Amino acid sequence: MYEEKLEALQVIMDRKSVRDFIERDVEEEKRKKIYQAILAAPTTENMMMYSVISVNDPETRAKLSKQPAIRKAPMVLVFCADYRRWNIIFEGMTESGRNPQEGEYQLAVVDTVVAAQNAVLAAEALGLSSVYLGDIMEHYEDRAAALGCPVGVVPVVTLCIGYATEAQLNRPYTKRLGQRYLIHDERYQDFSREELLRMLQERGQYESLEQMQPWLEKFSKRCVEGKGALERVRSIRTALRAMDPQD
């Protein structure tokens, strides 16, 4: 009872994203364990509103991302939010027959990422490494077509898994934002822009605010009006409209 499993914490703290892999396949036994870990994740109402597609075909992979990790990883899993399964099951059973909308999508996405993170930690525990690729959220129509996803099944994140190269294993950890800005006590604490800039600077990549400025200018443009950011918005709107054509 109340047994501490501190190795699990070690796995969490040891993990870092790995974007380059050696040429070694992921053993079948390890693949099975990763799948079991995915299915063991907590899930809304035990509905498991996700589907995971294992993609090996290089041509399909090339349609999902241009990032090198997807070519190099021996194991690529695409995690899709999946409300389709329950939509079919519920058919004809409700008075309104309402189509899935943002709320259903949100639940399914939460289920999906919770399950994906179980795969990340299982891989790490098995001596493997991984990286998420978020560009699967762009170009919904093309990516859904490449994966054969029908309406209601929306790719959310790609996970590339494999054995890390030595260089990647030795890569320093990515610095985090300070705990006091992220973990709040009882009530949300709002911070001024000045404090938030200080928070960024405290992360330690830049000596001064002036030094940080050029990076921040580029980064803000990328996040707000970059091609990827705008395409992601278009993509998800398209996916949601397909789920509820009357909307």
Q: Which residues of this protein are in contact with ligand FMN, per CB under 6 A? A: 16-17, 19, 67, 131-135, 157, 174
Q: Give the tokens for residue 29.
A: 């036994």
Nearer to ligand FMN, 17 or 238 (CB): 17
**Whole-angstrom distance, CA of residue 60 vs CA of residue 161:** 17
Query: Residue 135 to residues 63, 88, 118, 199: CA-CA distances in angstroms?
Result: 11, 28, 20, 27
Nearer to ligand FMN, 108 or 157 (CB): 157
Strands in 3-128 per DSSP E: 50-54, 75-82
CB 153 within 8 A of CB 80: yes
Q: Residue with the closest Cβ to ligand FMN?
A: 134
Q: Which of 134, 159, 146 is nearest to 34 (CA)?
A: 159
Nearer to ligand FMN, 86 or 112 (CB): 112
Tell the smallest beta-carbon distance from residue 70 to ligand FMN (Å): 9
Nearer to ligand FMN, 43 or 168 (CB): 168
Nearer to ligand FMN, 86 or 137 (CB): 137
Tell the smallest beta-carbon distance from residue 80 to ligand FMN (Å): 14
Nearer to ligand FMN, 12 or 189 (CB): 12
Tell the smallest beta-carbon distance from residue 131 to ligand FMN (Å): 5
Nearer to ligand FMN, 134 or 214 (CB): 134
Tell the smallest beta-carbon distance from residue 178 to ligand FMN (Å): 15
Tell the smallest beta-carbon distance from residue 156 to ligand FMN (Å): 8
Strands in the chain per DSSP E: 50-54, 75-82, 129-133, 153-162
DSSP state of 187: S
Query: Residue 239 to residues 15, 50, 141, 171, 227: CA-CA distances in angstroms?
Result: 32, 15, 8, 37, 18
**Whole-angstrom distance, CA of residue 60 vs CA of residue 54:** 11
Q: Kind of pairing, strands 75-82 and 129-133?
A: unpaired
Tell the smallest beta-carbon distance from residue 96 to ligand FMN (Å): 33
In this structure, the number of other CB atoms found within 10 A of the CB of residue 53 comes to: 18
CB 52 within 8 A of CB 80: yes
Tell the smallest beta-carbon distance from residue 15 to ligand FMN (Å): 7
Q: Give the tokens for residue 209.
A: 């605010």
